[in-house]
Structure 1
């Protein structure tokens, strides 16, 4: 296009409208992607489908460590794939997922007490009263360890309402 024709037509409003619509839909898609990552009843990696990033939930109890599970020992429970270090851990979990699975679906109980669902990190964990808790930050784990009764009370009160807001 020549300079004279560019000056004659000026700035095209169609391009501006297209840009605005494209930006709006891009923002909408990004917002729904973030929403999808945080709308699960059990914390699951949305790309792999693994619960608690493939860590063995039974190993927290039996070995007192955060240990990666093996693809050779998997089970499906609560819409997620769980991995284990050995057949015995898998069998224990399948028999009692409510005991070995992380409480509050793997969400940080300190943040739940604040009314926020924040996914726990399987590397920041505690077993308290024979239940596994995962924390989003090391600071939260340390605060919880100092006063578990207070944080559990707050998280337990808020969890039913927060859980209803999560996808099924």
Structure 2
């Protein structure tokens, strides 16, 4: 191919090439970013900070009936992850009874666990059912679970041991 012909091809294909690159970059920005939680752990922890349930205080769900972020001054390591709390009392309560205050199924969404998959729960979508904390990946999952927990709990409890066994320590 002659240099003149190569230049002609490049002159009409350059705008197409630039548009294609721009479209790829735009599409990459519009794609949803993956969940920041590691879904290969027995207890959900933020893959960047290492904090359990994104640093939310697990005791505040019970005491304050809301999702509240814990403070850096009140941390504790338990279950291979770091937990944050709003105050010393919440930290002491959790350390005395992590099985009571910790999220069920390690923080994985129980509606998805019932289907046989592990999907990280979002600490902002929660429910306390039968004095147990459940986190959900989506608002719709939480609402469905709260409307009929007996539909999901038996299946989730039956499937959880096998799913948990497949998660690395």
TM-score, with length taken from structure 2: 0.78
- In structure 2, the residue matched to 1:49 is 50
- In structure 2, the residue matched to 1:37 is 38
- In structure 1, the residue matched to 2:19 is none
Report the CA distance between 1:37 and its aligned residue. Answer: 2.8
Deviations 1:65-85 (A, max 9, x none): 100000000000111000000
Report the CA distance between 1:155 and its aligned residue. Answer: 0.3
Large movers: runs of 4+ above 4 Å? none
Alpha carbons 2:70, 2:84 under 8 Å: kept? yes
Is 1:158–2:159 an aligned residue pair? yes
- In structure 1, the residue matched to 2:108 is 107
Q: How do residues 123-134 of structure 1 correspond to structure 2 at under 5 angstroms?
A: 123-134=124-135
Deviations 1:54-113 (A, max 9, x none): 000000000101000000000001110000000000000000000000000000000001
- When the two chains are superposed, the root-mean-square deviation of aligned CA atoms in Å is 1.8
Alpha carbons 2:38, 2:120 under 8 Å: kept? no
Deviations 1:127-151 (A, max 9, x none): 0111000000000000000111121
- Gaps in structure 2 of 5+ consecutive residues: 4-34
- Gaps in structure 1 of 5+ consecutive residues: 4-33
TM-score, with length taken from structure 1: 0.78
Aligned to 1:64, the other structure's residue is in SS state coil
Report the CA distance between 1:38 and its aligned residue. Answer: 1.9
